[in-house]
C-alpha cells in the first residue's frame, strides 16, 4: 500500500542512514583486545573566542546506536547485511555449533518456498545453536565469573570512553559482569545476531529506549520496515522490536536483523497467530515453540512472552473500562477461554527456557494485562500478573536465561513510583521495561508527550528501558516520521532520567550545549542537540542569513533584549572594576 506510493529503494534508504551528522566524526575506543572496538560519535566544537575569552572546547562524545552506517567511510550493502562483529567471540567460546539439518520446521519450509524469492534476504547463513547440554547465555558466563568481550565492550560504551582514557568510573567490566550475574541487567545478544553491538539493559546503566517497528495487515512493506529500523537506530533507538503482523513476517525480520546494529526483539505469538490464519483456537504450544525456534535461529535477541496471563488474573479484568489492551494478552486470554485451559506459555515455561538458553534469547516477560487507561491503572489484574512474572523470573534464572519484565502502559503520575517499587520487589530486581506510561488519556495524536512524561519519571525511579510511543499511538501504524518523533521524545525522557539519577557524566552534553548557547556558538548548539536538522531549521525560519549564526541574539528577543548578551556586558563591567557587583 503505502510502499507503492513512495517507492523506496535500498540505495536511497542507505544514503539517508549514512548521512553524516554535522561536525561529527566516528571514533573507536579499543578494549583489551584488538577486536574490541567501541564506536562513538564525537561532536567537534569551535573554540570560545572574543569577549568570552579564548578557550578550546573539547569534543563531546555521544553514545551512538547508529552502528557502522555513520562510519567516516561506510561500506554497506543492505542486501548483504552488516559485518559480523561478535562472530569470533561466539566461536571462541567453543560451546556452539552450526545447525545440522533443519530445526524450525516452518523456517525450513519457508526458506524453500520459491514464492518468496522476490522478498527474501539473499545472503544465506546457517544458524548456530548451543552444543548439546551447553548453556550459551551471558548470564551463564557472568555467574561463572567470566567477563565476556561483550561485557568489556559495554563497560567502555557506557563510560563513553572514560575508562579507555584512564578516567575513573564505577562502570568496569567486572561491574557489568556482576550486574548481569545478579540478574539486575541483561545483555540481549543472540548467538545468531553477531552483527549487534553489545549493549546492556539495567537500572545501574544509562536508561535505554526501545523502538517498535513492524507492518500490519493494513499497511507497510519490507522496505518501509528496514527504513524504520535504520531511522530508529540513527536517532538513538537502543533496541528495536519488529512487531510485524502483516505480510512476509519471516522475510521482513530477516532483512531487519541482518542489518540491525542493535538488538532485535519480537513477540512470536503474533506470527504464530498468522500461521494459524488468525484463528486463536488453533494456536498451540507446538506452533509457538516452532516459531520461537525460528526467531532464535534468525538472531532475535529477546522475545516477549505473555506467560503471566493466567486465567484467574484475566478474570479480574472483567470490570475494566478498556479490558485487555496487549495484543499478546488478548490472544492468550481468548485461547484460555476457548480451550477452558491454562495459558500454554505458563504451563510450558521450563521448556521455553531450554530453547532460550541454547541461543541466548533473553525473555521479556510481557504484561498482557497492563492497563489501557488511567481508569484501569494499578488494579488487581495488573499486580496479580506482576507477581506471577516475578515467579517466572526465578524459574528463568534457574536456566541461566536472561530476563526483563514489561510494565505499563497508562499510569497517573502519582502512582508511577509505586509501579516501579512493586516491580523491584515482586520481580527480584530484574530490569523493568515499560511502555510509557501515559499520564493522561485525552491526547491521541500526542501520546509521545503524554507518555514521555511518565517514561522520564519511571526512568528516574529505576526503569531500565523505556518502550517508545509515537504520535500515532491509538490511531494508526507509525511511519518513518512518527518513528523519529517517538525516538526523540524518548531520548529526552531517558536522558532526563539519567541526569536525575546522577549517572556519571550524564550532563556533559547538556553543559557543553549550555556553554555554547551562552557564548552564541550557534552551530555548536545545533550540532550538540538531539536533532541538529530541526534545531537549525527552526532557527533559520526567521534568521536564515549566515551572519545570524554568529549574532549575539535570535529572533525571540532581538538584539536589544538578549539577556545572555546583557549578562556578558555586566560581567565585563564587573571585571573592569573589581571587586564590585
| Interface with its own copies in residues 356-415 (CB under 8 A) | 372-376, 412-414
215 carries a ligand binding annotation: no
Question: What does the CA dihedral 165, 168, 171, 175 come to, rounded to 10 degrees?
Answer: 120
State the minimum distance, in angstroms, from the CB of residue 71 to its own copies.
23
Determine phi and psi for 548, rounding to 5 degrees.
-65, -20
User: What residues from 268 to 287 belong to the interface with its own copies (CB under 8 A)?
Assistant: 270, 273-274, 278, 280
Q: Does the N-terminal peptide bond of residue 409 adopt cis geometry, omega within 30 degrees of 0?
A: yes
What angle (nearest 5°) sits at the alpha carbon of residue 471, between those of residues 119 and 186? 70
91 vs 508, which CB is nearer to its own copies?
A: 508
What's the closest the beta carbon of residue 115 comes to its own copies, in angstroms?
21
In the complex with its own copies, which residue's Cβ is closer, 181 or 458?
458
Q: Cα–Cα distance between 343 and 307 in angstroms, integer?
A: 7
Interface pick for its own copies out of 359, 460, 468, 520 (rule CB under 8 A):
460
Residue 114 engages its own copies in binding (rule: CB under 8 A): no
Residues 196-225 that bind its own copies (CB under 8 A): 216-219
| Contact of 353 with 395, CB cutoff 8 Å | yes
What mask, x for binding its own copies by CB under 8 A, covers residues 522 to 551?
---xx-xxxx--xx-xxx-xxx--------
E strand map for 113-268: 128-130, 185-186, 201-202, 208-213, 239-242, 264-266
Q: Applying CB under 8 A, which of residues 12, 30, 32, 567 lies at the interface with its own copies?
A: 567
Q: Are 255 and 224 in contact (CB under 8 A)?
A: no
What are the distances in angstroms from CA 578 to CA 51, 53, 54, 565? 17, 17, 21, 20
Nearer to its own copies, 20 or 445 (CB): 445
* Distant-in-sequence contacts of 170-177, Cβ < 8 A, 24+ apart: 170/504, 171/205, 171/504, 173/147, 174/147, 175/204, 176/147, 176/151, 176/152, 176/200, 177/142, 177/145, 177/146, 177/147, 177/148, 177/151
Name the minimum Å distance from CB 442 to its own copies.
Answer: 5
CB-CB contact of 257 with 244 (8 Å): no
Distance in Å, CB of 535 to its own copies, minimum: 4
Binding residues for its own copies restricted to 1-30, rule: CB under 8 A:
1-2
- Pick the binder of its own copies from 318, 546, 547, 578 (CB under 8 A): 318
Using the minimum distance from each CB to its own copies, give the nearer residue, 81 or 214: 214
| Residue 356 Cα distances to 151, 359, 391, angstroms | 20, 6, 17
**Contacts to its own copies from residues 21-80, by CB under 8 A:** none
ω into 478 cis (within 30 of 0) = no
Q: Does 117 bind its own copies (CB under 8 A)?
A: no
Nearer to its own copies, 160 or 314 (CB): 314
- Closest CB to its own copies among residues 37, 284: 284
Compute the C-alpha angle 334/337/340, nearest 5°.
145
CB-nearer residue toward its own copies: 20 or 544: 544
Which of 108, 339, 474, 549 touches its own copies by CB under 8 A? 474
Q: Does 558 bind its own copies (CB under 8 A)?
A: yes
The C-alpha angle with vertex 219 and arms to 217 and 225, in degrees rounded to 5, equals 105
Residues 292-311 that bind its own copies (CB under 8 A): 311
- Contact assessment for residue 196 and residue 85, using Cβ atoms and an 8 Å cutoff: yes
Q: Which of 259, 291, 317, 343 binds its own copies (CB under 8 A)?
A: 317
Q: Which of 322, 391, 505, 549 binds its own copies (CB under 8 A)?
A: 322
Binding residues for Zn(2+): 410, 474
Amino acid at each position: 500500500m503505502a510502499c507503492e506510493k513512495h517507492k523506496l529503494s535500498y540505495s536511497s534508504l542507505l544514503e539517508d542512514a549514512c548521512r553524516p551528522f554535522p561536525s561529527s566524526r566516528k571514533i573507536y575506543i579499543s578494549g583489551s583486545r584488538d577486536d574490541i572496538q567501541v564506536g562513538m560519535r564525537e561532536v567537534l566544537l569551535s573554540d570560545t573566542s572574543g569577549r568570552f575569552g579564548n578557550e578550546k572546547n573539547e569534543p563531546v562524545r555521544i553514545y551512538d546506536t547508529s552502528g557502522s552506517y555513520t562510519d567516516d567511510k561506510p561500506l554497506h550493502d543492505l542486501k548483504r547485511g552488516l559485518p559480523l562483529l561478535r562472530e569470533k567471540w561466539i566461536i571462541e567460546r567453543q560451546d556452539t555449533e552450526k545447525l545440522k539439518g533443519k530445526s524450525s520446521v516452518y523456517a525450513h519450509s519457508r526458506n524453500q518456498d520459491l514464492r518468496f524469492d522476490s522478498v527474501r534476504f539473499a545472503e544465506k547463513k546457517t544458524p548456530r545453536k548451543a552444543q548439546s547440554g551447553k548453556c550459551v547465555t551471558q548470564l551463564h558466563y557472568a555467574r561463572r565469573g567470566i567477563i565476556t568481550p561483550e561485557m568489556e565492550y559495554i563497560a567502555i560504551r557506557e563510560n563513553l570512553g572514560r575508562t579507555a582514557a584512564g578516567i575513573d568510573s564505577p562502570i568496569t567490566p567486572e561491574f557489568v559482569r556482576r550486574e548481569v550475574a545478579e540478574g539486575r541487567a541483561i545483555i540481549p545478544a543472540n548467538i545468531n545476531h553477531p552483527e549487534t553491538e553489545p549493549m546492556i539493559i539495567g537500572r545501574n546503566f544509562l536508561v535505554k529506549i526501545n523502538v517498535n517497528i513492524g507492518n500490519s495487515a493494513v499497511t507497510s512493506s519490507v522496505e518501509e520496515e528496514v527504513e524504520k529500523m535504520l531511522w530508529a537506530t540513527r536517532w538513538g533507538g537502543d533496541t528495536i522490536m519488529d512487531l510485524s503482523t502483516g505480510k512476509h513476517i519471516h522475510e521482513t525480520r530477516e532483512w531487519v536483523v541482518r542489518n540491525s546494529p542493535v538488538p532485535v526483539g519480537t513477540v512470536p505469538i503474533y506470527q504464530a497467530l498468522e500461521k494459524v490464519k488468525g484463528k486463536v483456537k488453533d494456536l498451540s504450544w507446538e506452533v509457538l515453540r516452532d516459531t520461537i525456534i525460528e526467531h532464535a535461529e534468525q538472531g532475535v535477541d529477546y522475545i516477549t512472552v505473555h506467560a503471566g496471563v493466567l486465567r484467574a488474573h484475566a478474570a479480574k479484568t472483567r470490570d475494566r473500562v478498556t479490558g485487555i489492551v496487549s495484543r499478546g494478552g488478548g490472544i492468550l486470554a481468548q485461547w484460555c477461554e476457548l480451550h477452558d485451559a491454562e495459558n500454554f506459555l505458563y504451563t510450558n515455561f521450563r521448556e521455553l527456557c531450554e530453547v532460550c538458553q541454547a541461543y541466548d534469547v533473553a525473555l521479556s516477560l510481557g504484561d498482557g494485562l497492563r492497563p489501557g487507561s488511567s481508569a484501569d491503572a494499578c488494579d488487581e489484574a495488573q499486580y496479580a500478573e506482576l507477581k506471577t512474572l516475578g515467579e517466572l523470573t526465578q524459574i528463568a534464572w534457574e536456566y541461566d536465561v536472561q530476563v526483563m519484565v514489561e510494565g505499563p502502559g497508562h499510569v497517573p503520575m502519582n502512582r508511577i513510583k509505586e509501579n516501579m517499587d512493586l516491580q523491584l520487589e515482586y520481580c527480584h530486581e530484574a530490569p523493568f521495561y515499560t511502555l510509557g506510561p501515559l499520564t493522561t488519556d485525552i491526547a491521541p495524536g500526542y501520546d509521545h508527550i503524554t507518555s514521555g512524561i511518565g517514561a522520564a519519571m519511571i526512568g528516574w525511579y529505576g526503569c531500565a528501558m523505556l518502550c517508545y510511543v509515537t504520535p500515532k499511538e491509538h490511531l494508526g501504524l507509525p511511519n518513518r516520521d512518527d518513528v523519529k518523533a517517538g525516538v526523540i521524545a524518548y531520548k529526552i525522557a531517558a536522558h532526563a532520567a539519567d541526569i536525575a539519577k546522577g549517572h556519571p557524566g550524564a550532563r556533559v552534553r547538556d553543559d557543553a550545549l549550555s556553554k555554547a548557547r551562552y557564548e552564541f556558538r550557534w552551530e555548536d548548539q545545533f550540532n550538540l542537540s538531539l536533532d541538529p536538522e530541526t534545531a537549525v531549521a527552526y532557527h533559520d525560519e526567521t534568521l536564515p542569513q549566515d551572519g545570524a549564526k554568529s549574532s549575539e541574539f535570535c529572533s525571540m528577543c532581538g538584539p536589544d533584549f538578549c539577556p545572555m548578551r546583557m549578562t556578558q556586558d555586566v560581567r565585563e563591567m564587573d571585571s573592569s572594576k573589581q571587586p564590585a557587583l
